[in-house]
Amino acid sequence: MGLFTRRSQNLNVQNGAAVATLEVDPVLAALTGDYVIDPAHSSIGFTVRHAMVTNVRGAFAEHEGSLHLDGADPARSTASIDVKIASVDTGIADRDGHLRSGDFFDAEAFPLMTFRSTEARQLGGDAYRITGELTIKDVTRPLSIDLEFNGSATDPYGNERVGFEGSTEILRSDWGLTWNAALEAGGVMVSDKVKLTFDISAIKQA
């Protein structure tokens, strides 16, 4: 059952006719509020094809963000995320240093990658799509992320949590990340297509 869609139906009488009205489920309405992303239990990762034959996976270890969930009207929900570029981690120090350099992210000049939502809507069931603006370096372009709502819970410390996971694909060249190297057998060292993945745990604020 979707986060914002479980509703009961009542009949009201208007001008002598019975009219069905939808009432928001109070359990879901209770989730409405402001949330802070818990970086210790969340991850923002990426996958990119290397040398045309295998995938390299990495993540950004440092990020912060906030969500506003509206249990009555999902279109009013919002998301904001800031990612520290220097925290990129693929497990290989030399490769991470290259990604931080001017060939790729230029982390010294552009320390943050940011996402600011502009629209949210339900696709069906627990599936949602959030659209916004992704900024990498000095380029801002629209981006849509498909998400699945994983549920809500109160943890042992009394924190009310919600969880989402999702993914999207981008062409890195759209954000000015164009460095590459040709291979002798044809093709290039790094694919243009990059898959972004999100596993988010967020804590409701008082």
DSSP string, 144-188: EEEEEEEEEEE-TTS-EEEEEEEEEEEEGGGGT-----B-TTSSB
pLDDT digits (tens, 9 = 90+) for 90-108: 999 999 999 999 999 999 9
Region 97-122: what's the mean pLDDT?
97
Query: pLDDT at position 19, please?
Result: 44
Cα–Cα distance measured from residue 84 to residue 82, given in angstroms and rounded to the nearest whole number:
7
pLDDT tens digit sequence for 13-69: 555 554 444 455 676 778 999 999 999 999 999 999 999 999 999 999 999 999 999
Sign of CA dihedral 56, 198, 144, 98: negative
Whose tokens are 């694909």? That residue is 169
Confidence band for 195, pLDDT divided at 50, 70 and 90: very high
The pLDDT of residue 71 is 80
pTM of the model: 0.86
